[in-house]
Amino acid sequence: AQSVTQLDSQVPVFEEAPVELRCNYSSSVSVYLFWYVQYPNQGLQLLLKYLSGSTLVKGINGFEAEFNKSQTSFHLRKPSVHISDTAEYFCAVSEKGGSEKLVFGKGTKLTVNP
Amino acid sequence: SAVISQKPSRDICQRGTSLTIQCQVDSQVTMMFWYRQQPGQSLTLIATANQGSEATYESGFVIDKFPISRPNLTFSTLTVSNMSPEDSSIYLCSVVRGKGEQFFGPGTRLTVL
């Protein structure tokens, strides 16, 4: 079975500052890794995914994440955030070659202040 | 990507009643998933719905409480039965497109009084 730990439940930052949202996972098998964003009162939107290949993946809205197998981490970064990035961010894993079901972390609430 | 719609978008129900949530996808998919997001919490998988077979439920979820139908490759329903206030959540369906990538519907926000 897989599990996901998002180390920060809330991250407040000022506009134009860099941000890193941390995600660690546990699994006995190879996994796919995802970051989803949920804006207030909206559904989930896929930000980016790691399936294989280059460990640095780029997503929408200027976000990127780096897969680190030795540290079982998949941290999300953005060099300069905007007010509109205020949202809940979820890290998720699924078993490679498995049932496709996602296991989510508890989420990180990113608040960008002016 | 996938275009997924859910009905209703929100509802307020009395305890002891049941609500059926519909999920419609714009094209055929093999697997559909139903998730629950309790207030201020993350998403938890309820069950996997495959067309032509019974749904597979996760630990802690049972068919009597959350019966699921999957009559064809573009549609599924989830019923929340004999509701209590603890069932107040957002219920989301999702589908898989491509390798391991899931797309989510907008969700159904349920409040049980």
**Contact (CB<8Å) B45/A102:** yes
Give dist(CA B108, CA B21) in Å, integer.
Answer: 7
Condensed to tens digits (0 to 9), the pLDDT of residues A57-98 reads 999 999 999 999 999 999 999 999 999 999 999 999 998 877
Distances (CA, A) of A59 to A50, B54, B86, B101: 10, 36, 36, 13
Test mutation, A31, A36, A44, chain B, max B CBs within 10 A: A44
**Contact (CB<8Å) B43/A90:** yes
pLDDT at A36: 95
**Contact (CB<8Å) A44/B101:** no
Query: Taking all residues of chain A, what is their mean pLDDT, rounded to a whole number?
Result: 93
- Reduced to 3 states (helix: H, G, I; strand: E, B; else coil), residue B40 is coil
Say yes or no: A40 contacts chain B, CB-CB below 8 A.
no
- Mean per-residue pLDDT for A31-43? 90
Condensed to tens digits (0 to 9), the pLDDT of residues B16-72 reads 999 999 999 999 988 899 999 998 888 999 999 988 788 999 999 999 999 999 999
B11, B113 Cβ separation under 8 angstroms: no
Give dist(CA B63, CA B81) in Å, integer.
Answer: 10
